[in-house]
Structure 1
């Protein structure tokens, strides 16, 4: 019998086979530090769902989706999760590590009992668990080891309200900070007061409005820290206080961004709903990677598509951000359109399936209260860790190509 290979295990886990060494949106001969170690996988609608919802009534069996007659809508059971939540797969690892003899279950017992005389291969469940751990370790290695000679700007944008911008911003910042050991700032660049501080841990004494006002007075990291709230993940959040603040301008956004980049390695920007606003165009000018969160609903998806069109029409750097955008599909338990139909809309805009990710339903996010990394479900953390690795890989590519152009000129 032909032995099971790691590629086959990942195909079962993630739904699609990928060439060894392939990187999302890049050719296999792409050369730059960090990003060449990352490839991506995308969920497939018919992939097996092996992770049950963590609900008290699980013993009664998983609930099934129900189709809404006359439409593409389907209602997922509350708390449902996706095992193949969009993420990355790294293929430059030593397959032997994952394919070592069994250590768990009956096969592991007999391997230990015979003192190694028997060398039974692991069961599929153990293989899948090893592959998942292996991939997560490499995602974290990519996030931790990537370095840049300037601050990196990540824009979180979608015109639609309740599209998941703020949870995506906070969770990505939390993952990046926890893996990198801090030096990650999440900042609110909405025109008017937003929800970033409300969804974050802590109660800020000063925020982005005060920072924009006091910009010329802030000369040290210690002073800048006075406008932030440190999370348990070690991310620093710069939101709005309970007091009202004036609308941010493009000049406010670029000025605050330059200051943050003097003291933080990564800057994640939670933006508003008006693409033509001065604050949004200012944020675009200091962006390296674009992340577009969307719920699995047509209004949210159409607004995401509108953003891509807006950026394409602007041309230049904005068009490049559109072509390299990372799409994050979230689920809040409400009726959803089929994943395949949603993906097709983005494919028609030039987004590849390797740039589309899915995050499983998470009750902690759906509560719409204070977000804490330690309270997220494990599948959610896995998905966002993979997305964070995709962000880092794209930052590596963008900044390296920028450096090459500067050297040529």
Structure 2
């Protein structure tokens, strides 16, 4: 018998959007996943459903999905075993060809992660129209047991049989939804009236769950943009802080500038002056099976509040040493022995040997950009360079996470109109990147990110929430 919407949890909030320009995305708890392209609209829908089935398999239960495409919208229930049930479907109104504007990838709805998505609407009550499977935008609901009268033979055949105890379990697999802790719902819960969390709180919980997971083997994140002042170093610090805080995984932020970088200036300094060159010199000792794991502490700078370590770039005054590709290999081998997560800052030269070798070791690419034209153009060229190289580099570019920060020129004294222009420019740049990468996240302006050492706790709550969404988008690529 089919599953009704009331029997399936609305958490996480899942939307599947198929556009008539041949693009599609699946949004799970605010995190956008680009759907692989298909040769037809139906194949694109099937690819979207495949992603949703994967989510149902991960949760080990059916999930509710809101679907939207040029032919209509409605709601599905998707089961881990590939079973699809149509709950409701509302066909789009017919329109004359002359009234249908052309849609190009540049104007398609962007796959932009927002930290507070709108709550899901109530399910449609309109039944799916009778049509062939190929003519319907999404699979129709299977016939239920009440569709046709059953014969005596069918009833006898459906009679329950004795089952093995191995096939039975009394454990409840569905997670228990904890009551609200935020907003007025949280206030009522604390007063003794249990309230379910809002969609916004559920989205935040899903982001926390994503960044708190452990994964097999080490992961390397490269933060890149050819242009200076694009927010690379603050991005490295914030991603390292959030992932280390929530997951508890040993995390190191590595300044992989070919000469001297600024990561050491924006983070807490330890009781020594050692850098990546000292780590390379000590690599034989550090890679020895007899070396204690705590020995790495004499070469990195621990962030006491944010719980990650920093490996500084060479800071000698002459600046006469450029890190080579071989030295990147050595340092990466050492760090991945002692840390589960390596977040790499980078210089501005995509042709440098250490930059290119960093990309060879990268699992997830992050491209930060401030909402200024030349920074955005440099980010585009960085992605274009990687895409043109093909193979691993091109795959990193396609699955990149772009983080757009509002202009750091914003001040408290700025007029409301100026602040609006800054936000509009950030949105314009985010929209421009959305069709070409896996996810785009916007970060509001925060003075705590402009100068001096960066601390997670110093950020405004809205900024902390935005960076949590950014870290979740990155971790989803692991």
Q: Which has the larger radius of gyration?
A: 2
Q: Is the 8 A contact 1:85 1:383 kept in 2?
A: no
Distance, in Å, in 2 between the alignment partners of 1:240 and 1:98 is 45
2:234 aligns with one of 159, 167, 171: 167
Q: Which residue of 2 aligns with 1:341?
A: 428
Q: 1:161 to 1:35 in 2, by over 3 A?
A: farther
Asked whether 1:25 is paired with 2:34, we answer: yes
How far the C-alpha of 1:340 sits from its partner, in A, is: 4.1
2:392 aligns with one of 304, 317, 320: 317
Q: 1:315 to 1:272 in 2, by over 3 A?
A: same
2:453 aligns with one of 359, 370, 377: 370
How far the C-alpha of 1:133 sits from its partner, in A, is: 3.2
Q: 1:147 to 1:298 in 2, by over 3 A?
A: same
- Cα deviation, 1:194-219, whole Å, max 9, x if unaligned, reads 00111011244211122123322323
Q: Is the 8 A contact 1:88 1:390 kept in 2?
A: no
Which structure has the higher relative contact order (CA within 8 Å, separation 6+)? 1
Q: Which residue of 1 aligns with 2:475?
A: 392
Matched residues, number: 321
Q: Which deviates more, 156-165 or 173-182? A: 173-182
Select the structure that is richer in helix: 1
2:444 aligns with one of 338, 360, 363: 360
Aligned-pair RMSD on alpha carbons?
Answer: 3.9
Q: Is the 8 A contact 1:163 1:295 kept in 2?
A: yes
Task: Determine helix, strand or coil for the equivalent of 1:311.
Answer: helix
- Cα deviation, 1:111-159, whole Å, max 9, x if unaligned, reads 97xx97xx9x89xxxx7xx4333322222222222321x2101000001
Asked whether 1:226 is paired with 2:313, we answer: no
2:243 aligns with one of 173, 176, 180: 176
Q: Which residue of 2 aligns with 1:75?
A: none
Distance, in Å, in 2 between the alignment partners of 1:143 and 1:233 is 15
Distance, in Å, in 2 between the alignment partners of 1:328 and 1:202 is 27
2:437 aligns with one of 351, 357, 364: 351
- Cα deviation, 1:31-87, whole Å, max 9, x if unaligned, reads 7799967xxxxxxxxxxxxxxxxxxxxxxxxxxxxxxxxxxxxxxxxxxxxxx9844
- Cα deviation, 1:86-105, whole Å, max 9, x if unaligned, reads 44879998889569996577
How far the C-alpha of 1:342 sits from its partner, in A, is: 1.3
- Cα deviation, 1:3-23, whole Å, max 9, x if unaligned, reads xx989x999xxxxx9766775
Q: 1:215 to 1:383 in 2, by over 3 A?
A: same
Q: 1:374 to 1:229 in 2, by over 3 A?
A: same
Q: Is the 8 A contact 2:302 2:309 kept in 1?
A: yes
Distance, in Å, in 2 between the alignment partners of 1:304 and 1:319 is 14
Asked whether 1:240 is paired with 2:313, we answer: yes
Output the TM-score relative to the length of structure 1.
Answer: 0.68
Q: 1:206 to 1:277 in 2, by over 3 A?
A: same
- Cα deviation, 1:146-182, whole Å, max 9, x if unaligned, reads 321x210100000110100000001100000011224
Distance, in Å, in 1 between the alignment partners of 2:183 and 2:354 is 56
Select the structure that is richer in strand: 2
Q: Is the 8 A contact 1:177 1:184 kept in 2?
A: yes
Distance, in Å, in 2 between the alignment partners of 1:315 and 1:214 is 35
Unaligned runs of 5+ in 2: 1-8, 16-24, 36-47, 60-111, 121-173, 411-420
Unaligned runs of 5+ in 1: 12-16, 38-83, 396-409
Task: Determine helix, strand or coil for the equivalent of 1:212.
Answer: helix
Output the TM-score relative to the length of structure 2.
Answer: 0.59
Asked whether 1:271 is paired with 2:280, we answer: no
